[in-house]
Structure 1
Amino acid sequence: MKTTSLKTAYLAESSLLAALLVRLKRRNLYFVAGEITSFVAMLGFVVLATTLHNATWTLWLAAVCLALYVVIRRFDVQNEARITAVDQLRQAYEDEARYLEGDFTPFDDGARHADTRHPFALDLDIFGPSSLFHRLNRTVSTGGSRSLAEFLTRLPGHTPQAKAEVERKREAIDELAAKQTWRMKFIAQGKGKAGGIDSTRLTQTMQAAAKVSIPRFAAARLPFAIACASIVGFFATLFLAVFTPLSANVPVWWGIINFFVVMLICTKPLRMVSKTANLLHAELTACVQLLSLITTEDMQAALNKQLQTELEGALLAFKQLQQTVASLDRRSNVLGLMFANALFLSDFFLVRKFLKWQDSHLKHFEQWVDCLSKADALVSLATFRYNHPETVQPQIEDAPKIVYQATNLRHPFLGTKAVGNDLCIEQGQYHIVTGANMAGKSTFLRCVGVNYVLAMAGLPVFADEMRVSCFWLFSSMRTTDDLTHGISYFNAELLRLEQLIGYCHNHPNTFIILDEILKGTNSLDKLNGSRLFLQTMSQLPASGIVATHDLELSKLEDENPSRFANYCFEIELGNDVTYSYRITRGVAQNQNATFLLKKILKA
């Protein structure tokens, strides 16, 4: 399916849902009218009963109208919930259509995840406006956002389990990509919680709950037996007071004693629990909805068995906690609270229920939130996979060395304007790329890096073919000064190169991407420093691509042809500058700075 067809499909779904929304809102008006009519009719019959003699039938009709009001009200609430769900789903489809038009504003750009010292994230536009994260992100939780950021920045690298890890992610992404309707429901449900699910708040609140000191008596067997006996005793005395000469004062005082004993023992612990639980209400509801969707039978093949089992356990525990929070909310009804404690010792059993939940589930809570976050991130990756049918799955090599071969490799951000190029580089090789300004060197370097990040995240790549091994990645393309800390541009460059050398020593098989080494010094010093740096790097277990304007660096191929190879982005000069954006073997012959400057000065 082409991008235009996808956009048409998304807009068609959005239109259908918009039409359904109109019908549901019209139905809502009928429900409101029915509620008003039944309620007014009920009041009318009650008033009629007070004015007519021997008009019992009016009370029966009032009761029927009340029942009708309750039924209509319930349908109205259900219809309101459906209106909200349909509107969220319509918005989700509309957002995807906007994405295909190049509008990413409905999605978070992940700028908060940016780290200037990360080995490659800043240079490859992983975070920020119109970044890779901005294009991928459909997460509905802060934990999912963090997991997605980790998928894009924590590459498996050159480790024994790297290939298996990538393939596991790819299988899950492919399965989820095929479940387009399910994914849209997941994304839409996440929109129901303003700002998404705050996973950090969930985890921190439950950590605080673990520190809540609640007396352990409620979890013991003896108090439980006494409580049960007290309830049985109350109802036994109530029965005897009704059907025998036993005084009614006995069950009354029994209930009063039950109420005050429970309030005395349980009020303080429940106040402490409520402070924690009340913070969780909105997050818990959203989590239960998403977990219910994830653990459906249709999803069992999409997620690995361990993750599915974890999430099923999480759903059960989250539902139990949600019920406890709902019970705490109902305590605000003072009259109901009095009767519930007098008759059933409800606060005692509520404390006991929370203690048992705390003992059984609290230690797994952080792990469950993490599992939900990973599933959330996988939905985003699968949506990107579905939205780009023009991509191909790369072949992941289980090789003990660097391998990067690609045919018609294109930058993911450029769409149909992208010019494809081939690349073939292996262990220990360095490509020296020369070319004029704006000829395509930096774009090509980022194209190489971003497509590798996609491959390691389990996603398809923008190429006709691609074969890569699992290796580490480091880039230096956007060095900036830091006047606040007294770091000049040149000093910042040196610090980045020092970080690169240390990284390569600690991470054998690193692929490096460099754009203009030592820009912050004079030409001769820059050339000598660049030659020294590259000659040193060629002795390390690394490979890479280096873009430069220093044509003298191309002589490294003559000195060491097994390590260095020259490539270029050539331009043609005539009445204007012609850019091909095609990489070819050799050294660039034409430059455009003087040519373009002359045109400006003549203007």
Structure 2
Amino acid sequence: MSLAEEFYKNNIEKNSKESNALSSKVNVIGWSRLVVVLLCALVDYFLYKQNKIMMIVVVTIVITGFFLILMFYHNNIFEYKKRIDLLININEKGLKRLGGEFKKFKDNGSEYLDDEHSFINDLDVFGNNSIFQYINSTVTKGGREELVKLLKREKVLVSNEIKERQEAIRELGEKAVWRQKIIVEGNLKKSQDIHLDSLIKWSEGKESSSPLRLAIACTFMLATIFSIYLAIKGIVPLSFIILDLMVNFLVVKILAKSMAKEIELFDSIKSSVYGYSKILCLIEDEKFESLYLKTLISKLKSNKVSCKYEMKKFSDILDWAGNSSYNAFYLILNIVLFSDVFLMRSLEKWREKNGDKLEDWLKVMHEIDALNSIANLSFENETWTYPVILNENEIEGINIGHPLLGKKSVRNKFSLRGEKKVSLITGSNMSGKSTFLRTLGVNLVLSYIGAPVCADKFSCGIMNIYTCMRTKDNLEESISSFYAEILRIKILIEASKKGEKIFFLLDEIFKGTNSKDRHTGAIVLIKQLIQYGGVGLVSTHDLELCDLERENKSIINYNFREFYENDKIKFDYILRNGKSETQNAIHLMKLAGIEI
């Protein structure tokens, strides 16, 4: 049993026991609250029969106080149980990743699939059974977007940045308990997190409350306090206070129109900000050793301003936002003290102090959130290695496996270094050619985001990945699969001509045309890619292409083979040097019932 599996199982067992105990406690307290309410009603009724009005007031106040204590305790226990249940779910998802069941996770990033991207569709970066579905455990919208950008290579990292990220991910991988705390806080009061841009825009604003609005609020608030004083003294009747509050209600409604957009925004984001404040507190309080993480955390403290303190203050202020729409107590408070106006002023004061820092704080949180997801790979795969990043356009590995296949993955040794620039991969149908191309591609994607890879040793240069593997017809654009393949090849050639560092993966190129054209086209393409400095792999059934190895020192042959047991075809998926010497198409036709 791996350390990760043991960790997850132990946590599930421990937290399940605690959750069951808390369930019993929640039920007991819930019934106790009901008993207290019934007891209060019975006692009050008994005292009412005896005409002990003062005793009714005293007993009601005492029992109500006890009820509020029970309610507060019940809510705390319930929230704590929710945290424990979230931890159980997190560890169960960890076990599913280890068992290859991650394809059941709902969030697979399928909205990012893109036929025009240079590699994401062919390498299963997004969609079902994808890299994203495997590693993603982000809890913020920004963290999810940061992870997407890394996987799509929208953020291209240089060698030093990758090495620094490797150190950070290695360190985060060792902080499994801390990472799970962040996931819990991010999910405890989960909101849709759809107004983040609006929050940033507000934080950058400079406008402040109208002095007239504050003056009106202060005037009517003082008038209400004075009216209450006069009523207590008996100078004015009690009805005068009711009239005053009715006037205040109208004034509150009028003033609320000028603050409606802000109040609506704050009401929609307060759950998110609560989670942000908790997460940023965990981040700021944690001690890190890697340079990359230390640099990130340093952005949370500037000019003696503590991010965790200011974000908690922000969350506490926002906790009141929008309460007047559903909270009777706050509605009364608003009518008497014009709390919305002063709430808005408090938020503006917070913005004056911290508005210019908020976006940077959130960026730190989002990056840590994305790195924590990648750190799942480090924690759960002890035998994986961190790749060596080279300056040359090369790739080499020992015992390289496909990261998404888990224990089913067959490991292979591969090298494309020095004068060798193109590898021709031959082999019979279903022997493993396409899977091996994806194996290298997926491990390169992981290498470039600073993650460990599925290999004992792995080294590579930083290259732009181009693939042509799953071309298909597009009826809306009147494009055949062959023409779609041509268009992708065109993009590859244009990129190589521009001087890009290219790594290409071409699976059965030009398969949509006749054998003569396919052979000729493949030879010309391979030579042209070599000419412009491209590096990569080409899988093919055209064994004559393998003769290029003798003509050009830049080309090397590899192959996969099949074997037979009891008239059944079998594959070992082991990569061998040289060209393929076996074929299985006729045998497969016979198995299908075609008489030959």
Question: Does residue 294 of structure 2 align to residue 295 of structure 1?
Answer: no
| 2-structure distance, mates of 1:547, 1:118 | 21
Partner of 1:33: 31
Query: Is this contact kept in 2: 1:49–1:56, CA < 8 A?
Result: no
Q: How far off its partner does 1:132 sit?
A: 1.4
Q: 1:435 aligns with which of 413, 417, 427?
A: 427
Question: How do residues 290-369 of structure 1 correspond to structure 2 at under 5 angstroms?
Answer: 290-298=279-287, 304-310=293-299, 318-332=311-325, 337=331, 340=334, 342=336, 344-358=337-351, 361=354, 365-369=358-362
Partner of 2:388: 395
Query: Is this contact kept in 2: 1:120–1:473, CA < 8 A?
Result: yes
- When residues 215 and 433 of structure 1 are mapped into structure 2, their CA distance, relative to the original with a 3 A threshold, is closer
Question: Does residue 145 of structure 2 align to residue 146 of structure 1?
Answer: yes
Partner of 2:5: 7
Question: Does residue 182 of structure 2 align to residue 186 of structure 1?
Answer: yes
Question: Does residue 100 of structure 2 align to residue 108 of structure 1?
Answer: no
- When residues 238 and 413 of structure 1 are mapped into structure 2, their CA distance, relative to the original with a 3 A threshold, is closer
Query: Is this contact kept in 2: 1:262–1:347, CA < 8 A?
Result: no
Query: Is this contact kept in 2: 1:107–1:138, CA < 8 A?
Result: no
TM-score for both structures, normalised by structure 1 = 0.86
> Which amino acid is 2:265 matched to?
T
- When residues 81 and 389 of structure 1 are mapped into structure 2, their CA distance, relative to the original with a 3 A threshold, is same
Question: Which has the higher mean CA deviation after the structures are superposed, 255-264 or 69-78?
Answer: 255-264
| 2-structure distance, mates of 1:515, 1:331 | 62
Secondary structure of the 1:433 match is: strand
Q: How far off its partner does 1:73 sit?
A: 1.5
- When residues 65 and 460 of structure 1 are mapped into structure 2, their CA distance, relative to the original with a 3 A threshold, is same
Question: Does residue 270 of structure 2 align to residue 278 of structure 1?
Answer: no
Question: How do residues 155-234 of structure 1 correspond to structure 2 at under 5 angstroms?
Answer: 162-193=158-189, 197-199=191-193, 201-206=194-199, 216-218=209-211
Secondary structure of the 1:118 match is: coil
| 1-structure distance, mates of 2:55, 2:165 | 69
Q: How far off its partner does 1:46 sit?
A: 2.6
Q: How far off its partner does 1:334 sit?
A: 6.6
| 1-structure distance, mates of 2:204, 2:412 | 58
TM-score for both structures, normalised by structure 2 = 0.86
CA RMSD of aligned residues (A): 3.7
Question: How do residues 260-271 of structure 1 correspond to structure 2 at under 5 angstroms?
Answer: 263=252, 266-271=255-260
Query: Is this contact kept in 1: 2:314–2:350, CA < 8 A?
Result: yes
- When residues 197 and 298 of structure 1 are mapped into structure 2, their CA distance, relative to the original with a 3 A threshold, is farther
Query: Is this contact kept in 1: 2:481–2:512, CA < 8 A?
Result: yes
Partner of 1:422: 413
Query: Is this contact kept in 2: 1:227–1:345, CA < 8 A?
Result: yes
Q: How far off its partner does 1:580 sit?
A: 3.2
Q: How far off its partner does 1:567 sit?
A: 1.9
Q: How far off its partner does 1:351 sit?
A: 3.2
Question: Does residue 534 of structure 2 align to residue 542 of structure 1?
Answer: yes
Secondary structure of the 1:432 match is: strand
Question: Does residue 83 of structure 2 align to residue 88 of structure 1?
Answer: no
Secondary structure of the 2:505 match is: strand
- When residues 339 and 593 of structure 1 are mapped into structure 2, their CA distance, relative to the original with a 3 A threshold, is closer
Q: How far off its partner does 1:51 sit?
A: 3.2
Consecutive unaligned residues in structure 1, runs of 5 or more: none
Query: Is this contact kept in 2: 1:472–1:507, CA < 8 A?
Result: no
- When residues 241 and 538 of structure 1 are mapped into structure 2, their CA distance, relative to the original with a 3 A threshold, is same
Q: How far off its partner does 1:215 sit?
A: 6.9
C-alpha distance after superposition, 1:380-404 (max 9, x if no partner): 111222111121222223x2x2121
| 1-structure distance, mates of 2:426, 2:51 | 104
| 1-structure distance, mates of 2:492, 2:289 | 43
| 1-structure distance, mates of 2:590, 2:221 | 97
Query: Is this contact kept in 2: 1:48–1:58, CA < 8 A?
Result: no
| 2-structure distance, mates of 1:536, 1:596 | 35
C-alpha distance after superposition, 1:8-57 (max 9, x if no partner): 44233212222211111111222123222322333333333333367866
Question: How do residues 361-510 of structure 1 correspond to structure 2 at under 5 angstroms?
Answer: 361=354, 365-397=358-390, 399=391, 401-426=392-417, 429-506=421-498, 508-510=500-502
> Which amino acid is 1:269 matched to?
S
Secondary structure of the 2:121 match is: coil
Partner of 2:71: 73
> Which amino acid is 2:181 matched to?
K
Secondary structure of the 2:446 match is: helix
Q: 2:560 aligns with which of 553, 569, 572?
A: 569
> Which amino acid is 1:289 matched to?
K
Secondary structure of the 1:434 match is: strand
Question: How do residues 494-533 of structure 1 correspond to structure 2 at under 5 angstroms?
Answer: 494-506=486-498, 508-533=500-525
Query: Is this contact kept in 1: 2:22–2:77, CA < 8 A?
Result: yes
